[in-house]
Amino acid sequence: MGHGLGCGQSRLGGVTLLECLLTLAIVAILMSIGVPTYRDQLAAARARAGAQQLYAAMQYARSTAQAYGAVVTLCPVIDPSNPALKCAGHFGQSLAAIKHSGEDSQLLRVWPPVAGVTVTNRTGSNWVTGTLRWNPQGVGRRNLTLSVCALGHNWSVITNRLGRPRLARDWGVCPPGVPR
């Protein structure tokens, strides 16, 4: 009653080519299911992170205006490393909070852009340019919706005339062809 091996023969442990190919096929099937789901979750997280950063920047600018009793501007900047900081560009780029006191202006903080997101108007048709400004009471006097998108996932930051920002999911439209 042996194992089917002749005298002096031993069976080596290991996997056969068929077992290896079957394992690789199973791993490939699981990866084809998991990778798109992971990419979708990553895009949803990026859209939310971008919107939360814009929301935090608006809250910071508004509360700083109230705390210092000064006008504070939140604006996009193309080159935040330039000492002569100028408001230009769109809200998908770096943002700067600037405090204005009479003729003097002081840079308070700069936020870098969030990678992998686009920031457009609510309809997704145009970049949002210009500035947001809060007076010493924290009043903004401008309605604005910034639609933050990443691979079809949308979060919006809405600012009312009083200068209060809020976050909303799926409030805007993600543009299909707006370049980054």
Residue 5 lies in a domain: no
Q: Going residue by residue through the chain, which has 180 residues, state the pLDDT in tens, using 9 for 90 and above.
A: 555 555 656 666 788 989 899 999 999 888 888 777 888 899 999 999 999 999 999 999 999 999 999 999 999 998 888 877 889 999 999 999 999 988 888 999 999 999 999 999 999 899 999 999 999 999 998 899 999 999 889 999 999 999 999 999 998 888 875 443
User: Which of 87, 103, 84 is closest to 95 using CA atoms?
Assistant: 87
CA distance 27 to 19: 12
Q: State how many domains the chain has.
A: 1
CATH of residue 103's domain is 3.55.40.10
Residue 161 lies in a domain: yes
For residue 33, which phi and psi values (nearest 5 degrees)? -85, -40
Decide: helix, strand or coil at residue 38: helix
Residue 8 lies in a domain: no
User: Which of 179, 177, 174, 134 is closest to 43 using CA atoms?
Assistant: 174
Query: Residue 67 belongs to what domain range?
Result: 17-169
